[in-house]
Amino acid sequence: MSHLRPVPDDPSPEEGGSLPARLAELLKRAARGDEKAFAEWYDATAARAFGLAVRVLRDRAQAEEVTQESYLDCWRHAARFDPAKGSAMSWLLTIVHRKAVDRVRASEASFRRDAAYGLRDAGVAHDETAESATASIEAHRVRAALADLTRKQREAVELAFLGGYTHTEVATMLDLPVGTAKTRIRDGLIRLRDALGVGEVGTA
């Protein structure tokens, strides 16, 4: 497969009513090795994919890398797409979101390692060390609580709060009615609240 074209800075493809079916058909053709179909699918979806990566990573350079990695995965595993489980767009955005979150977590882990190394080599007041340890424990608790959610709840909550998307945007990405998206986010937050032992959690 030839190299993917660079993600455009701010493309805005039109989305007609038949676009979901068209994207699904293009992806099926790509699964059979049709590079032209895949290029067309890329052109129609790149703006949304790159936009999600930027929202999660807050860094255009990293977002471009994650977007390209995601499309390479899509090309290699297009045959895994099952239209019965969701739209081609939501399948793509799930891959992008997972890779972007993995990149964030890897960056955080690297930062923690660097910080720990610095603490060993420099005199740090006891209260600062304690504060750092407490923050690490809290982050671990949140990750553990997220892992305890159902897949559907975690997907919706991460899009809403890690990705910064509105309920309507989450519904569109996951190919759901807005009410269903709100319910998944709300139920996920309730489970997080119970797991963390905190007060009422808002969903603004």
- Residues 108-163: tens digit of each pLDDT: 655 555 545 444 554 444 444 444 444 454 556 667 777 778 888 888 877 776 66
Q: Does 170 have pLDDT greater than 50? A: yes
Among candidate residues 7, 167, 9, the one with its CA nearest the CA of residue 92: 7
pLDDT at 120: 53
Task: For residue 8, tell me if it sits in a domain.
Answer: no
Question: What's the mean pLDDT in 191-198?
Answer: 70
Q: Which two tokens stand for residue 180?
A: 């269903």
Q: Over pLDDT 70: what percentage of the chain? A: 67
136 in the same domain as 67: no
Q: Cβ atoms within 10 A of the Cβ of 127, count?
A: 8
Q: Does 78 have pLDDT greater than 90? A: yes
Q: Which of 39-48, 100-109, 183-192 ranks highest by mean pLDDT?
A: 39-48
154 in the same domain as 109: no
Q: Which two tokens stand for residue 32?
A: 């059979």
57 in the same domain as 85: yes
Q: Residue 161 gets which letter from DSSP?
A: I
pLDDT at 35: 94
Q: Cβ atoms within 10 A of the Cβ of 83, count?
A: 15
89 in the same domain as 43: yes
190 and 201 Cβ atoms separated by less than 8 Å: yes
